[in-house]
Every structure is written in structure tokens, then in C-alpha cells.
């Protein structure tokens, strides 16, 4: 006698094209006045519920109702900057509503700190968090590395919820994933780059996953990465972008061989496998962004040459180098923290440990780049203050670039603020910054 799972009824919605015999167990042929609800307070996969009806106004109105006209209600929103901290103490984030005054908080679940990336063994992946509707989505710190699966956290300003766990990938002997290396909100979903055990440089293992806030499900996007059958060779996912209707994935090769940097792309809800777009960039990809219709990649240095910023033309699809780091080969050199100011300018952080070089660069055309701020000379940046992520803050039209503390529990991290007038100010000097930053939007 067949056994049917009844606790997921309605999870896959209504399907009117299949015959009743072809329907999956969690599909319906009709569901009038029904909706699939997820309880954000407790997590879980959700349940089928009756759609709420209109409340009667029998005591509030008098006489006949001759018509109804909709009027917009005044809605205001509060935006709060959230910058993740490391493991110095119990504080998990620093928050600010004006960019200048920052407050410690331990209420949100912490973002994965540097110790959660020791197996991942690359300090230069994007490591962003995502702002999606009225919550932040990020890699959690609430698990034991190599024992438990990494977690995905939702924070709405009041409560943290574990949206799900990152289960073992197809390679790695069912071992837990190493780390979530990037998070991107796009296309109505949240995409996550994951580095898995298994594989060997340059064919490190990994996956791209998506979190669907409607169903609450975390699922894999297309095929995985690694050296196995059916996997994409060339590295583990390290940076994400959504461009021309496709999801673009920069890869981390795990070595320093020159001219093997790879980026793949796909229509996530249409394609079944990734398409290699380029496989001969300088080295592993640390950041991706779209500016004036073209796609930009910030790469890492190789053993023989400096890191580059490379542009993909929207018209020809060809990749050309726009700038090469003066730091030269090795030295953890890379370009990071792409930040786009509409069609006005694009920013990037250039890093090299030897000198050190810690510069915020700016370009108005994507071709000519100049140093907008020499952080090591003017602001005390030192080797090990690796660039974190960056963000634009609407409330004061300012840009924020995080520079990580030199150790997970270190207190020499900081944030650089660029005002709308181009003035730089160092914020949160000598603080346990771990890199990720985002803006939480709350309806008030």
C-alpha cells in the first residue's frame, strides 16, 4: 500500500496542467480561499491555511454603504545600518541610524566569524550579507564548524530565525559544508554561494543554493562545482551577481596559477547546467558588480602577476582588463567590495599585504580608475585589515566600506564613510569588525 506524505500538502501550490495521476504529493488541483503560511517565529516548512476574510464593521458604520474607495495610508520606513562583529565578546553587530554614532548589540544571531572560514582557506571571497524586504539574510555563527551544517539566519530587527541549514553537498563524504561565501538578493530570491569539502585545487567543490521566502525552502541551483562527474570544474563559488536575467558566479580556484580565473552563468529557473563565460582571468574572483550595463569582476593576484579589475562588454561579451594592481604578484592581493553609485561611479577596494596597499578606488566610466582614498596612508590601515563588504545608505547618501580586524577577536578593524560630498571619515576605529555590512529596512 503506498505511503503519502501529508504534512506538506500545498507546499508546491496549484498545478492545472498535470493529470491527477501525475501530480506530486504536495501539489493541488485547486485551492480557493487557501494560502501556504510560514511561521517566522518558529521556522519550519509551513502549512496550508484558510485565507483570512474581511472583518465586519457593523458597529463602526451607520446607514447604507453606497461605495468604497481606496485611500493610501501614510507609511514610513526606518533604515538601520548593521555591521557584523567578530568573536571579541558577546556583541554580534554594531548598528547606526546616522552612520556616525554606532551602538553595540548582542540581540541578533551573530554572522559567521573568521573562525568559521578556516577550512574554506581563502580570506578573499565576497562574504556579504543580503538585505531582502524587511529582514537581513546572512550566514549564521550558531553552529560548530565541521560538526554541524552552516546555518542561514533571518533578522527582522526584533528576532533572529534560523531559516534553514546547509546540508552536505554531493561531494565530501557527507561532511558539513565549509562556509557560505556570498549572499545575494535578486530575482525575488536569496542566492547563496557555498564551499564544500571534497575536490582539489583548482577544482574545489561547492554549490549555489537559493532561499525562497514564499515557500521557506532552501534548494540547490543547477549542478554543483568540483572535479566529479557532472560537476563544473574550475573552482568553488566565491562571488555572485545577477545580470541580463542570469545568475553569474565567480569561482575560487584555491591556487595561484595565472590566467585560470573563471566565471559561469545561467538562467536559474530555466537552465539545467552552468555555462562557462570566461576561464582565463588573472585568478580567483573576489567581487562582481554591474555598472553602466557592463559586468565587472575583481580578481585576486596570481603567483606571477597582480590582481585585476576586468570588464565584460554588454555588446560584445568580451572581457578586457581595466586596471592591474601596483602591488604585484601574491601578497593576498585582490580587488574587493565593488559598490555602484547608479550610473555616476563605481568603487572598489585594492588590497595588497606587502606594502601594504589599501586604497579605495573610484571610476566614472569603468575604464579610468583613480585612488579616491589612500586608507593605509591616511587612516592607519595595516597589512591584515582585509576589505570586507560595502553599502550605500539612503538616509545620508553616504557610502560605507568595512575593513576587517586582523584576527577574529582583534580590535583594529574600522569603517570608512564617504559622504555625498566625497569627504572620508573613519568610523568605529579600533573595533572588532568582521566584514559584512547591510541595511535593515523596517516599516514603522
- Higher pLDDT: 69 or 244? It is 244
Q: Per-residue confidence at 1, pLDDT binned at 50, 70, 90?
A: very low
Range in 16-25, 120-129, 334-343, 365-374 with the lowest mean pLDDT = 16-25
Q: Per-residue confidence at 122, pLDDT binned at 50, 70, 90?
A: confident
Q: Which of 365, 430, 423, 370 is nearest to 404 (CA)?
A: 430
Cell of 279: 576561464
Q: What is the mean pLDDT of the chain?
A: 90
* Residue at 26 is within a domain: yes
Report the domain count for the chain.
1
* Residue at 257 is within a domain: no
Q: Say what the pLDDT of residue 360 is.
A: 98
* Residue at 131 is within a domain: no
Per-residue pLDDT for 334 more than 70? yes
Q: Per-residue confidence at 397, pLDDT binned at 50, 70, 90?
A: very high
Mean local confidence (pLDDT), 195-215: 92
Q: Is 292 left (phi over 0), alpha (psi -120 to 50) or beta?
A: left
- Higher pLDDT: 74 or 363? It is 363
- Higher pLDDT: 7 or 89? It is 89
Count Cβ atoms below 10 Å from residue 172 Cβ, excluding itself.
17
* Residue at 93 is within a domain: no
* Residue at 41 is within a domain: yes
Per-residue pLDDT for 7 more than 70? no
β 217-220/236-243 pair status: unpaired
Cell of 147: 560538526
Rg (C-alpha) for the chain, rounded Å, is 23
- Higher pLDDT: 38 or 78? It is 78
* Residue at 31 is within a domain: yes
Distance CA 422, CA 434 (A): 25
Per-residue pLDDT for 67 more than 80? no
Domain that holds residue 9: 1-51
Q: How far is CA 112 from the centre of its chain?
A: 13
Q: Say what the pLDDT of residue 34 is.
A: 75
Residues 127-139 pLDDT 10s: 999 999 999 999 9
Q: What is the phi/psi pair of residue 125, to 5°? A: -70, 165
Cα angle for residues 136, 137, 138 (degrees, 5° grid):
120
Q: Say what the pLDDT of residue 146 is.
A: 87
Mean local confidence (pLDDT), 163-184: 88
Distance CA 279, CA 414 (A): 35
Q: Say what the pLDDT of residue 199 is.
A: 85
Mean local confidence (pLDDT), 25-36: 72
Range in 13-22, 122-131, 216-225, 360-369 with the lowest mean pLDDT = 13-22
Distance CA 203, CA 177 (A): 16
Mean local confidence (pLDDT), 203-217: 93
* Residue at 100 is within a domain: no
- b/e burial code for range 188-215 (CB count within 10 A of at least 16 → b): ebbbbbbbbbbbebbbbbbbbbbbebeb
DSSP 112-157: P-GGGGTTT--TTS----EEETTEEEEEB--S-TTTS--EEEEE-S
Mean local confidence (pLDDT), 303-324: 97
Beta partners for residue 218, in sequence order: 211
Question: Which ranges constitute the DSSP H helices of 340-394?
Answer: 375-378
Query: Rounded to two decimals, what is the model's pTM?
Result: 0.84
Q: Say what the pLDDT of residue 439 is.
A: 97
Report cis status (omega within 30 of 0) of the bond before 166.
no
Range in 28-42, 125-139, 297-311, 357-371 with the lowest mean pLDDT = 28-42
Question: Which position has the grid cell 547606526?
Answer: 96
Residues 346-363 pLDDT 10s: 999 999 999 899 999 999
- Higher pLDDT: 290 or 354? It is 290
* Residue at 2 is within a domain: yes
Question: Which position has the grid cell 553616504?
Answer: 398
CB-based contacts of 141-146 (< 8 A; 24+ apart in sequence): 141/92, 141/109, 141/110, 141/111, 141/112, 141/113, 141/116, 142/109, 142/110, 145/115, 145/116, 145/118, 145/119, 145/176, 146/119, 146/175, 146/176
Count Cβ atoms below 10 Å from residue 397 Cβ, excluding itself.
13
Per-residue pLDDT for 42 more than 60? no
Answer yes or no: are the C-beta atoms of 366 and 296 closer than 8 Å.
Answer: yes
Distance CA 325, CA 337 (A): 15
- Higher pLDDT: 172 or 368? It is 368
Q: What is the dihedral of CA 378, 380, 383, 388, to 10 degrees?
A: -90
Distance CA 248, CA 226 (A): 17
Amino acid at each position: 500500500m503506498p505511503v503519502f506524505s501529508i504534512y506538506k500538502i500545498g507546499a508546491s501550490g496549484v498545478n492545472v496542467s498535470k493529470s491527477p495521476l501525475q501530480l506530486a504529493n504536495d501539489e493541488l488541483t485547486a485551492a480557493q480561499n487557501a494560502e501556504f503560511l510560514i511561521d517566522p517565529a518558529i521556522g519550519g516548512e509551513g502549512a496550508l491555511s484558510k485565507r483570512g476574510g474581511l472583518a465586519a464593521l457593523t458597529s463602526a458604520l451607520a446607514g447604507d454603504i453606497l461605495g468604497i474607495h481606496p485611500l493610501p495610508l501614510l507609511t514610513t520606513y526606518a533604515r538601520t545600518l548593521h555591521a557584523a562583529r567578530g568573536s571579541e565578546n558577546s556583541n554580534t553587530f554594531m548598528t547606526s541610524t546616522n552612520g556616525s554614532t554606532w551602538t553595540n548589540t548582542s540581540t541578533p544571531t551573530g554572522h559567521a566569524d573568521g573562525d568559521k572560514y578556516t577550512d574554506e582557506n581563502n580570506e578573499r571571497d565576497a562574504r556579504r550579507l543580503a538585505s531582502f524586504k524587511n529582514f537581513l539574510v546572512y550566514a549564521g555563527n550558531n553552529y560548530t564548524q565541521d560538526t554541524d551544517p552552516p546555518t542561514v539566519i533571518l533578522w527582522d530587527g526584533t528576532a533572529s530565525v534560523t531559516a534553514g541549514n546547509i546540508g552536505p553537498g554531493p561531494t565530501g563524504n557527507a561532511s558539513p559544508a565549509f562556509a557560505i561565501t556570498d549572499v545575494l538578493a535578486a530575482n525575488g530570491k536569496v542566492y547563496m554561494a557555498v564551499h564544500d569539502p571534497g575536490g582539489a585545487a583548482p577544482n574545489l567543490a561547492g554549490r549555489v543554493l537559493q532561499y525562497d521566502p514564499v515557500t521557506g525552502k532552501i534548494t540547490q541551483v543547477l549542478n554543483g562545482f568540483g572535479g566529479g562527474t557532472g560537476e563544473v570544474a574550475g573552482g568553488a563559488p566565491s562571488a555572485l551577481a545577477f545580470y541580463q536575467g542570469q545568475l553569474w558566479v565567480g569561482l575560487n580556484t584555491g591556487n595561484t596559477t595565472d590566467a585560470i580565473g573563471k566565471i559561469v552563468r545561467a538562467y536559474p529557473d530555466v537552465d539545467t547546467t552552468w555555462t562557462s563565460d570566461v576561464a582565463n582571468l588573472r585568478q580567483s574572483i573576489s567581487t562582481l558588480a554591474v555598472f553602466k550595463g557592463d559586468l565587472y569582476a575583481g580578481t585576486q593576484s596570481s603567483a606571477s602577476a597582480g590582481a585585476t579589475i576586468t570588464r565584460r562588454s554588454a555588446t560584445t561579451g568580451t572581457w578586457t582588463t581595466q586596471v592591474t594592481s601596483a602591488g604585484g604578484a601574491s601578497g593576498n592581493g585582490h580587488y574587493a567590495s565593488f559598490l555602484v553609485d547608479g550610473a555616476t561611479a563605481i568603487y572598489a577596494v585594492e588590497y595588497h599585504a606587502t606594502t601594504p596597499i589599501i586604497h579605495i578606488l573610484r571610476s566614472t566610466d569603468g575604464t579610468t580608475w583613480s585612488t579616491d582614498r589612500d586608507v593605509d596612508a591616511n587612516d592607519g590601515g595595516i597589512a591584515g585589515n582585509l576589505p570586507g563588504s560595502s553599502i550605500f545608505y539612503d538616509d545620508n547618501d553616504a557610502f560605507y566600506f568595512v575593513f576587517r580586524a586582523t584576527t577574529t577577536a582583534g580590535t583594529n578593524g574600522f569603517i570608512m564613510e564617504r559622504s555625498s560630498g566625497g569627504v572620508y571619515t573613519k568610523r568605529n576605529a579600533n573595533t572588532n569588525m568582521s566584514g559584512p555590512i547591510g541595511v535593515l529596512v523596517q516599516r514603522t
